[in-house]
Structure 1
Amino acid sequence: MCKVSDLLDFYSTNSLSWDKLEYGTTNIQNLHYGLIHVGLPTMVDIDKDNLPNIIDGNVPKNYELCKEGDVVFADASEDTNEVAKAVEYYNLNGKKVVCGLHTIHGRDNKNKTVVGYKGYAFSSMSFHHQIRRIAQGTKIYSINSKNFSECYVGIPSKEEQQKIADLLRLIDERIATQNKII
């Protein structure tokens, strides 16, 4: 077990609302928390998953570009089951992406995990039981990066992490294929 705050370093995010974003341009892409709640898979592949671009003139002065393996949490939700819902960047394909409104951007700079494992680890029931205990609010529940000092996640060997990530990603792909068929 590893304390999440010991595993991840956290970076600032922007507060751009939907009216500052658009689709179909080549500008920097922006991950808004609404996309985490609706539509994005646990493993984000920028070649398959469509993110909006920041409209010209709205690019923040300071930002941290996302890297493959970075994990992004939604910091707020109306439902305790959705607070800290996480996605992991699996394939950025050289695209510039930043984290936006109501997100928490984390990175394993200590290289304790493989790309593809964190998204599933932070989607586990054991992690979300911890989050439900510390989420604050009455109508809207929220967390912040400081809350991760109270949460733990299992970190097996890198070989085991890779097997877990590969299996779960294949299951996700199978589910997506079945949903298209339906």
Structure 2
Amino acid sequence: MTGLRDSIFNHKIRFRGFNQPWEKFRGSDLLIFFPTNSLSWENLEYASGTILNLHYGLIHQGLPQQINLTENKLPSIKNECLPVNYELCKEGDVVFADASEDTNDVGKVIEFIDCNEKLVVSGLHTIHGRDKLNRSIVGFKGYAFAAKSFRNQMRSLAQGTKVYSISIKNFHDCFISIPEKEEQQKIIKILTNISHQIADEKKILKAFKVQKQFLIQKMFI
């Protein structure tokens, strides 16, 4: 899927009937950024809290690129640790992990597709952005900011030795191209369908592995 995604965002593949050039933006011109909190894991819990919190570790540990809170679970902030000021995440918002020990993961991104009417904030070592120009549709930015054409720019700006980091100011030096919204819909549809197929196949493979282990154990009882 990554190969197809990168080919789309490198403009090597275009959908039939779409010939208009993509519009190029500085990341800082497209996105407005909001403050995030610095709550550690000790301040979070997987319980029925009031406000959910997206910790950067979850972005690195396998959260899907498109977050649907009807399916994906996030920890909540302990009541005694609730921040005074915060900006809630909305559908279409993107959140970047701003630190990593691996340059390949610095700037890793997720997009909120469905918040399921839940209150969510962006947490430790994250950058919370929102399309201030209304130029993109929900579901597009996660793929666009994850594409190699953007990630390579961000990777080249990462600072550090053992731990690499980026900041909001780096988005001034990175560019992203966006097609018309009808073409965005086509891109989202094909990439999302492939992502779902891959996820389903992983579930099937996992079930086969469990069954195989069970049968092996039965053989030696």
User: TM-score normalized by structure 2?
Assistant: 0.81
State the partner residue of 1:84.
107
Corresponding position: 1:110 with 2:133: yes
* Equivalent residue number for residue 46 of structure 2: 23
Aligned to 2:149: 126
Q: How many equivalent pairs are there?
A: 182
1:157 maps to 180
Whole-Å Cα distance in 1 between the matches of residues 193 and 80 of structure 2?
40
Q: Over alpha carbons, which structure has the higher Rg?
A: 2
Cα distance in 2, alignment partners of residues 130 and 59 from structure 1: 35
Does residue 52 of structure 1 match 2:75? yes
Equivalent residue number for residue 85 of structure 2: 62
Q: Distance in 2 between matches of 1:132 and 1:67?
A: 26
Q: Distance in 1 between matches of 2:62 and 2:73?
A: 10
1-structure distance, mates of 2:101, 2:123:
18
Alignment counterpart, residue 190 of structure 2, candidates 153, 161, 167? 167
Once the two structures are superposed, residues 116-169 of structure 1 have per-residue CA deviations (whole angstroms, 9 ceiling, x without a partner) of 000000100011110111100011000001100000011011111111112111
Q: Match for residue 139 of structure 1? A: 162
Q: Distance in 1 between matches of 2:152 and 2:181?
A: 25
Matches of 2:45 and 2:141, distance apart in 1 = 29
Which of residues 59, 67, 84 in structure 2 aligns to 1:36?
59
- 1:110 deviates by 1.4
Compute the RMSD of aligned alpha carbons: 0.7
Distance 1:43 1:170 in 2: 12
Of 27, 35, 47, the residue aligned with 1:4 is 27
- Report sequence identity in percent: 58
Q: What stretches of structure 1 move > 3 A for 4+ residues in a row?
A: none
Secondary structure of the 2:194 match is helix
* Amino acid across the alignment from 1:86: V
* Counterpart pick for 1:178 among 196, 201, 210: 201
Instruction: Give 1:109 deviation, angstroms.
Output: 2.1
Task: Report the Cα distance in structure 1 between the residues aligned to 2:132 and 2:30, rounded to whole angstroms.
Answer: 8
Alignment partners' CA distance in 2, 1:30 and 1:169: 25
C-alpha deviation, 1:24, in angstroms: 2.5
Secondary structure of the equivalent of 1:172? helix
The structural deviation recorded for 1:88 is: 0.2
